């Protein structure tokens, strides 16, 4: 490769980052689910789903996303990143478009949005991360943070477009193509996701073999460096260590709280603000909850970048401990402070910020503990904790909410799920204090 060609590759590598963010913005749609739930559960609405049903759809998407991501990591390593990213865009777009035209029933939305949409996200998610790391070996932390931050910021975009910007697409598009607002927005979003991910996938190519940025040399490994490659566990070897299961449990405990709040913040905000008198009407409560939801997504994105940098400074274990502990405390008090507009927004920001940190800290911790060589495959197994958390967290909230409606318990229904999540986060923080890297490979 000529010097001119190498320089051109270095300049062009920033296009990879832009394309990665474009893809991740679309994949972040799964975190915007809460914007649809008030219409789905409205007693006088088209759907009349239960809260549990809305959370089943959300949980299915998260679980399928996590499971498919394991397979996608293997596939992109074998056949290349571009076709896997493009396939993810096609599947994601198809899921939402089908959900728009067919999604009048719970079963149809579960299949189209949950299963098909979740599979599309799982296919595409790993590609920008893997490609960006190869193009930017000189700034892995920053670039990985930027790539996954797009996922968090995307939720803000789709929440605000659906709920308030330009009059709110859920309202403006009601009746378009003869469809209710929710389904019309599914169709619009599906087309946008398909086009955006396909465009981004064009640039999802690995650098030439032996590529190094101009003037950069790999740093020398030391016995004190975080992930030196002194140990490189295969998948089987990693699964035979207690550290894997401890790390997996910490991730599951921490992620459960964030995923619970993502799935129910709009419903909780409306209930809490009306019950306390902080909002005079359901519309005002909904607007405040929508703002909290959007800010949650923004802080989710920022948390991915900032927590990653913090962990580089103070170490991975201390960062994970502080993040889990802060999340646990906030979840224990969220029911109380969420009864005010300012408290709901502040609580959402803190929870979103800490939740975002998971996606910077746990990939790095996987590399720290089990080596760099197989981190792409190994992290897929660690990431399954996210899928389990995506089932448990939202389902706990949905079940307690539905029981409260049946018994007339009111807004107090939200207290128990938040306490459960808070205790889980504190348990994760305690595990983070005692976990130690494995010292040798195991068969």
For the stretch 357-397, pLDDT in tens is 998 888 778 877 887 666 667 888 888 898 888 788 877 87
306: three-class secondary structure by DSSP: helix
Assigned fold of 233-443:
Growth Hormone; Chain: A; (1.20.1250)
Integer Cα distance of 271 and 6 in angstroms: 58
Spatial separation of the C-alpha atoms in residues 294 and 29, rounded to whole Å? 12
- The residue to which tokens 């962990």 are assigned: 311
pLDDT of residue 231: 65
Contacts (Cβ under 8 Å, ≥6 apart) of 167: none
Rounded to an integer, what distance in angstroms lies between the CA atom of residue 350 and that of residue 261? 11
Distances in Å between the Cα of 105 and the Cα atoms of 23, 173, 192 are 29, 19, 23
Please report, for the chain, the start and end positions of each structural domain, with discontinuous segments joined by +: 1-211, 233-443
What is the reported pLDDT for 2? 42
Query: Helix, strand, coil % (nearest 5) of the chain?
Result: 80, 0, 20
CA–CA gap between residue 367 and residue 357 (Å, rounded): 16
Output the pTM of the full model. Answer: 0.75
Cα separation of 302 and 315, whole Å?
19
Give Dmax (Cα) for the chain: 73
The correct answer on CATH 1.20.1250.20 for the domain covering 1-211 is yes
Q: What is the pLDDT of residues 72-97, one digit of tens each?
A: 887 887 888 899 999 999 999 999 99
Mean pLDDT over the full length of the chain: 82
> Hey, CA dihedral for 149, 150, 156, 159, is it positive or negative?
negative
CA distance 435 to 382: 15
One fold for 1-211 and 233-443: yes
Q: What is the pLDDT of residue 199?
A: 95
Mean pLDDT of the 236-260 span: 91
- Tokens of residue 96, six digits: 């939402």
The pLDDT tens digits of the residues spanning 316-342 come to 889 999 999 999 999 999 999 988 999
Q: Which residue has the higher pLDDT, 153 or 389?
A: 389
Structural tokens at position 154:
């995307």
């Amino acid at each position: 490769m000529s010097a001119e060609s190498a320089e051109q590759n270095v300049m062009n590598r920033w296009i990879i980052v832009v394309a990665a963010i474009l893809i991740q913005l679309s994949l972040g749609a799964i975190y915007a689910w809460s914007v649809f739930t008030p219409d789905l559960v409205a007693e006088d609405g088209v759907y009349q789903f239960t809260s549990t049903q809305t959370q089943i759809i959300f949980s299915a998407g998260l679980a399928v996303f996590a499971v498919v991501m394991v397979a996608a990591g293997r596939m992109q390593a074998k056949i290349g990143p571009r076709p896997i990213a493009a396939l993810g865009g096609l599947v994601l777009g198809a899921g939402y478009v089908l959900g728009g035209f067919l999604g009048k029933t719970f079963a149809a939305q579960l299949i189209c949005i949950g299963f098909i949409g979740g599979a599309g996200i799982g296919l595409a998610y790993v590609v920008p991360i893997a490609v960006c790391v190869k193009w930017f070996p000189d700034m892995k932390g920053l670039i990985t943070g930027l790539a996954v931050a797009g996922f968090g910021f995307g939720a803000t975009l789709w929440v605000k477009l659906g709920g308030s910007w330009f009059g709110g697409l859920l309202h403006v598009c009601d009746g378009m193509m003869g469809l209710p607002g929710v389904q019309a927005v599914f169709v619009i979003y599906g087309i946008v996701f398909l086009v955006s991910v396909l465009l981004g996938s064009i640039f999802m190519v690995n650098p030439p073999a032996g590529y190094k940025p101009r003037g950069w040399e790999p740093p020398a490994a030391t016995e004190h460096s975080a992930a030196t490659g002194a140990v490189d566990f295969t998948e089987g070897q990693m699964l035979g260590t207690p550290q894997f299961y401890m790390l997996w449990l910490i991730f599951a405990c921490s992620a459960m709280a964030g995923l619970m709040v993502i799935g129910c913040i709009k419903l909780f905000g409306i209930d809490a603000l009306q019950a306390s008198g902080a909002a005079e009407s359901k519309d005002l409560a909904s607007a405040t909850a929508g703002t909290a939801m959007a800010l949650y997504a923004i802080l989710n994105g920022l948390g991915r970048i900032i927590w990653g940098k913090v962990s580089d400074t103070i170490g991975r274990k201390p960062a994970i401990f502080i993040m889990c502990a802060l999340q646990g405390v906030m979840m224990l008090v969220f029911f109380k402070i969420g009864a005010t507009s300012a408290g709901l927004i502040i609580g959402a920001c803190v929870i979103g910020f800490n939740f975002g940190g998971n996606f910077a800290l746990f990939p790095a911790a996987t590399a720290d503990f089990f080596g760099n060589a197989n981190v792409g495959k190994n992290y897929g197994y660690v990431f399954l904790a996210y899928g389990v958390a995506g089932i448990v967290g939202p389902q706990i909230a949905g079940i307690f909410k539905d029981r409260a409606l049946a018994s007339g318990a009111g807004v107090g229904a939200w207290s128990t799920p938040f306490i459960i999540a808070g205790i889980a986060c504190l348990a994760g923080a305690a595990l983070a204090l005692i976990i130690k890297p494995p010292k040798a490979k195991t068969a």
